[in-house]
Amino acid sequence: MQCAHWHRLPLDLAREARSKAPGGHLDRAVRCHLSPHEGDEHYGFLTELDEYGAALWLRWYGRGEMEVVTLPDCPALGTGRNRDGCCLFAGHIQQHTWEGAQKTASRTS
């Protein structure tokens, strides 16, 4: 399960993201990466910043404010065979991404 909120990446913030990550691929719209959550603060993944162990995220609020933020990668590793890394940022709320994946896998098997 994943939060159902999407947000368009406005041109000015796309420019800001590109100046911080010139080689990164940017999508025109991002989906909140968190699992379904309370509150109206959403985080959409923009692109990696390899050299810093960090990534660019679009943070937006239900009332319309948004900003590009640089957040360190979440250091948590999954307990499964692959020890997948979490695709979120350090200090995120809700589950790690591999927790959701593991639950989905066990539900379908």
For binding to Zn ion (CB under 5 A), which residues are involved? 3, 5, 32, 34, 42, 74, 76, 86, 88, 96
Instruction: Provide the minimum distance between the beta carbon of 32 and Zn ion in the complex, in angstroms, as a whole number.
Output: 3
Instruction: Provide the minimum distance between the beta carbon of 89 and Zn ion in the complex, in angstroms, as a whole number.
Output: 8
**Closer residue to Zn ion (CB): 22 or 75:** 75
Distance in angstroms between the alpha carbons of the first and the last residue of the chain: 17
CA distance 34 to 74: 12
Instruction: Provide the minimum distance between the beta carbon of 52 and Zn ion in the complex, in angstroms, as a whole number.
Output: 17
CA distance 50 to 72: 10
